[in-house]
Amino acid sequence: MIEERPARLADFGEKVLCPPEPFSVSWDMIPEVVRLSLMPAFGIQPVTGAMFGAAGQALSAAPTDGEIEYFRERGTQFQMVQVVLSLAWWETFEGSVNAVPFAISAIPASKRGKVTQTSIDGVAALRGAPVNTEDVYTSFDPFSGDWGMYAHGGFAANFSSGKHPIDELGIVIERYFLALNYDRDDLVEFDTFMPDEQSKKAYRRNRMKKLFTPFSEVRARRLWGLETPIELFLFQEMLSRGKRPQCQCLIYPDGSSYQSLYDVYSDIEFRRGQNILVEVDMFLPEERVAIFCDGAHHDRRKQKQTDAKINVALEGLGIKPVRVPGRLINSDMKAAGDMIDAAISSR
């Protein structure tokens, strides 16, 4: 459950509550590179050359007889992992209800508080069974990785009628079976959409870390999206004003921007090699406004000096930096939104 919600959220009414009717997702708010990276995240993962050899054909969500025999001989165990989408807001457009996402997480299957495992026969038993996109995690907090209850299809509608916060509804959009032993040198990655070899290496490292590292505890692992509750609250404030900022944007010294993937900015080798100026919490590309949600550590002298240098560099690129104190978002979210509007007007 996401706690310490600003009182301002009540002013948004039903827009921050679960929609009372079926809705679609504004997938355009999720970076294309994130969508492309998640497209292969189904069936057995990670994909290896040995799997292609055992299948004797193109792979699909359902394991072939050859794959079943291959994994049976190896005694491979699997963890079932669900890919879960979190939503921040909804609005009606041309008669349809569209919801805006703010995070994607991975959650392992569990029983009695422990991560469960299954053999290839358990995977095969679900062969052909579609992912039920009405399965949900309720009271889900993608920041802490905790949730209240997992509910099977049809529960989302009942949950919606209770007028619960939409940002605490985790919707299952995909599932895969993570093999617990495989040959890392035999991995087959679909990374042709990455721009250069260094980016591909960072992408593979972070993909291994986020998608293919076995779960040791029953807790969600965030794959993409906003990083803290105060970012979510400010994001909702901006949405209420008709703005749709991009999340987790890397700004380069030439003024170009690129939305981050799997916390790729935390990859030291990638950060050094790419000569990135800064990662901003949210970015309005048309207005050229970079938004930072600054926590208490930004009050420290050295951090202030660093922030000031970054601000000067951004302004030199024609980008207006706005540093919104986290305490202001909590105490007066409207004033925080006004800061951003003022920066936009000054452009």
Residues 145 and 14 in one domain: yes
Residues 192 and 282 in one domain: no
Averaged pLDDT, 192-211: 82
Residue 72 in tokens: 């049976």
Would you say residue 1 lies in a domain?
Answer: no
Residues 242 and 215 in one domain: no
The domain total for the chain is 2
The packing angle between helices 333-346 and 229-240, to 10°, is: 60
Is the pLDDT score of 286 beyond 60?
yes
Whole-number pLDDT of residue 4: 85
Would you say residue 161 lies in a domain?
Answer: yes
Residues 199 and 312 in one domain: no
This prediction has a pTM of 0.90
Q: For the domain that residue 298 is a member of, what is the CATH number?
A: 3.40.960
Residue 166 CA to residue 122 CA, distance in Å, equals 33
Q: Which residues pair with 146 in a beta bridge?
A: 141
Longest dimension (CA), the chain: 66
Is the pLDDT score of 132 beyond 80?
no
Domain of 186, in residue numbers: 7-223
Would you say residue 132 lies in a domain?
Answer: yes
Q: Of 293, 279, 283, nearest to 250 (Cα)? A: 279
Is the pLDDT score of 216 beyond 80?
yes
Whole-number pLDDT of residue 272: 53
Residues 104 and 165 in one domain: yes
Which of 223, 255, 280 delimits the end of a domain? Answer: 223
Is the pLDDT score of 343 beyond 60?
yes
Per-chain mean pLDDT for the chain: 87
pLDDT in tens, 32-91: 888 888 888 889 999 999 999 999 888 888 899 999 999 999 999 999 999 999 999 999
Is the pLDDT score of 154 beyond 70?
no
CA–CA distances in Å: residue 142 to residues 188, 252, 313: 29, 28, 33
Whole-number pLDDT of residue 262: 61
| Comparison of pLDDT for 286 and 33, the residue scoring more | 286
Is the pLDDT score of 100 beyond 80?
yes
Q: Of 232, 22, 74, 31, nearest to 141 (Cα)? A: 232
Residue 279 CA to residue 277 CA, distance in Å, equals 7
Whole-number pLDDT of residue 207: 86
Would you say residue 273 lies in a domain?
Answer: yes
Whole-number pLDDT of residue 296: 66
pLDDT in tens, 271-284: 555 678 888 999 99
| Comparison of pLDDT for 1 and 67, the residue scoring more | 67
- Please answer whether residues 208 and 305 qualify as being in contact, where contact means their C-beta atoms are separated by less than 8 angstroms: no
Is the pLDDT score of 155 beyond 90?
no
Contacts with 206 (C-beta within 8 Å, 6 or more apart), sequence order: 261, 262, 263, 264, 267
Residues 75 and 166 in one domain: yes
Is the pLDDT score of 247 beyond 80?
yes
